[in-house]
């Protein structure tokens, strides 16, 4: 059962060797991109040339695509900074305002940077931020009344990655930014809130690694290691698979670090580096609507 495997892999002593995990990944080609995208968007979004990307499909989970080497080092830094400094700002929602730890008009990052006392008490309490159509954690139903603008840069990133890795014309309309610390987990679940369940779900990992578990049937639950810069895509037969993260694993390298940040970095940069050196960030992006629809 998923729960049994989840409990097993929660124990860091049971993390499989990298070689064992990689054995199940089958190399795939990227889709044709020659005339789809401007070269400029690759540099603006800090992406490596697609010829440098490594695309895999999981041998036991058709439609679970893993893409590596998508981002430059600058790119990892850029997206981590967006998630730490910008995306927690209103009108995006977060887990701290509903429990009174932030005012609705406050950005978690500003409070952490400017009010050290309050900041230290909420630093590692930020667990999620939602963008676009806000995920409703109680009803799991999206609503037009709970929608704010979706960031252009993230939408563009998703359009390119989905097209090249799966061939889909993806429209990013909702995202959960998940923040994890050493003992954080996300238990097994299926993401089925989106009216359009044909579109893939895109998941970007930064910072510490995650042991990700996927699979519905007892003998078929597989562990996959998600490292900083990896993109996992749940598409086709894997779109509605049960999945979760039982274990955060300290990163064995820090591909987000730039030499510029090790020396005379700003207060803001220093905060971001200190945060991500002890955390994992996951940008979990969904298309909600069918192509051509503008509202629910
Ligand atoms: O953090 C991850 O890799 C998975 C997060 C997730 O499954 C979700 O936000 O629905
Ligand atoms: Fe999920």
Higher pLDDT residue, 33 or 248?
Answer: 248
What is the 3-state secondary structure of the chain? Answer: CHHHHHHHHHCHHHCCCHHHHHCCEEEECCCCCCCCCCHHHHHHCCECCHHHCEEEEECCEEEEEEEECCECHHHHHHHHHHHHHHCCCCCCEECCHHHCCCCCCCCHHHHHHHCHHHHHHHHHHCCEEEEEECCCCCCCCCCHHHECCCCHHHHHHHHHHHHHHHCCCCCCCEEEEEEECCCCCEEEECCCCCCCCCCCEEEEEEECEEEEEECCCHHHCEEEEECCCCEEEECHHHCCCCEEEEEEECCCCCCCCCHHHHCCCCHHHHHHHHHHCCCEEEEEEECCCCCCCCCC
Q: Tell me the sheet residues that pair with 57.
A: 26, 65
| Ligand 1 close to Cβ of residue 176 (< 6 A) | yes
Residue 19, pLDDT above cutoff 70: yes
Higher pLDDT residue, 32 or 81?
Answer: 81
Which of 187, 193, 241, 191 has its CA nearest to residue 214? 241
- The residue nearest atom 2 of ligand 1, judged by CA position, is 282
**Protein residues placing their CB within 5 Å of the ion ligand 2:** 191
- Candidate of 186, 210, 249 to mutate for ligand 1, largest count of ligand atoms within 8 Å of Cβ: 186
Residue 293, pLDDT above cutoff 80: yes
Query: Is 0.90 topped by the overall pTM?
Result: yes
| Ligand 1 close to Cβ of residue 209 (< 6 A) | no
Distance 178 CA to ligand 1 centre (A): 7
| Ligand 1 close to Cβ of residue 78 (< 6 A) | no
Look-up of token digits 């159509």: 133
pLDDT at 31: 86
Q: State the ligand closest to the CA atom of 224.
A: 1
Distance 268 CA to ligand 2 centre (A): 30
What mean pLDDT do residues 55-73 have?
A: 97
- Quickly name the fold that domain 2-286 has: Jelly Rolls (2.60.120)
| Ligand 1 close to Cβ of residue 208 (< 6 A) | no
Residue 77, Cβ neighbours under 10 Å: how many?
A: 23
| Ligand 1 close to Cβ of residue 135 (< 6 A) | no
Distance 43 CA to ligand 2 centre (A): 29
pLDDT at 264: 63
- The residue nearest atom 7 of ligand 1, judged by CA position, is 244
pLDDT digits (tens, 9 = 90+) for 225-244: 999 999 999 999 999 999 99
pLDDT digits (tens, 9 = 90+) for 129-165: 999 999 999 999 999 999 999 999 999 999 999 999 9
pLDDT at 258: 87
pLDDT digits (tens, 9 = 90+) for 254-292: 999 987 655 568 999 999 999 999 999 999 999 999 999
- Tell me how far apart the alpha carbons of residues 244 and 6 are, in angstroms, rounded to a whole number: 8
CB 45 within 8 A of CB 153: yes
Q: What is the ipTM of this complex?
A: 0.99
Residue 105, Cβ neighbours under 10 Å: how many?
A: 9
| Ligand 1 close to Cβ of residue 212 (< 6 A) | yes
What mean pLDDT do residues 8-17 have?
A: 96
| Ligand 1 close to Cβ of residue 243 (< 6 A) | yes
């Amino acid at each position: 059962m998923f729960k049994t495997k989840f409990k097993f892999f929660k124990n860091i002593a049971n993390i499989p060797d990298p070689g064992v995990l990689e054995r199940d990944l089958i190399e795939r080609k990227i889709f044709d991109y020659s005339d789809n995208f401007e070269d400029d968007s690759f540099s603006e979004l800090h992406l490596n040339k697609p010829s440098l990307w490594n695309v895999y499909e999981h041998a036991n989970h058709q439609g679970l695509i893993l893409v590596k080497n998508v981002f430059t080092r600058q790119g990892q830094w850029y997206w981590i900074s967006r998630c730490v400094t910008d995306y927690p700002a209103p009108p995006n929602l977060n887990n701290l305002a509903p429990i009174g730890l932030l005012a609705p008009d406050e950005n978690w990052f500003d409070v952490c940077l400017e009010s050290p006392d309050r900041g230290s008490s909420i630093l590692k309490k930020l667990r999620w931020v939602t963008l676009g159509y806000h995920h409703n954690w109680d009803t799991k139903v999206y609503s037009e009344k709970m929608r704010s603008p979706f960031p252009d840069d993230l939408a563009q990133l998703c359009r390119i990655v989905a097209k090249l890795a799966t061939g889909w014309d993806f429209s990013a309309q909702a995202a959960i930014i998940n923040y994890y610390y050493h003992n954080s987990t996300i238990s097994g679940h299926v993401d089925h809130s989106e009216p359009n369940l044909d579109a893939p779900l895109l998941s970007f990992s930064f910072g510490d690694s995650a042991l990700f578990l996927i699979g519905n049937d007892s003998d078929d639950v597989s562990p996959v290691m998600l490292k900083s810069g990896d993109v996992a895509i749940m598409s086709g037969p894997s779109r509605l698979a049960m999945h979760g993260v039982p274990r955060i694993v300290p990163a064995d390298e820090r591909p987000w670090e730039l030499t510029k940040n090790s020396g005379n970095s700003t207060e803001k940069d220093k905060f971001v580096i200190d945060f991500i050196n002890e955390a994992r960030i996951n940008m979990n992006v969904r298309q909600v609507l069918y192509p051509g629809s503008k509202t629910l």
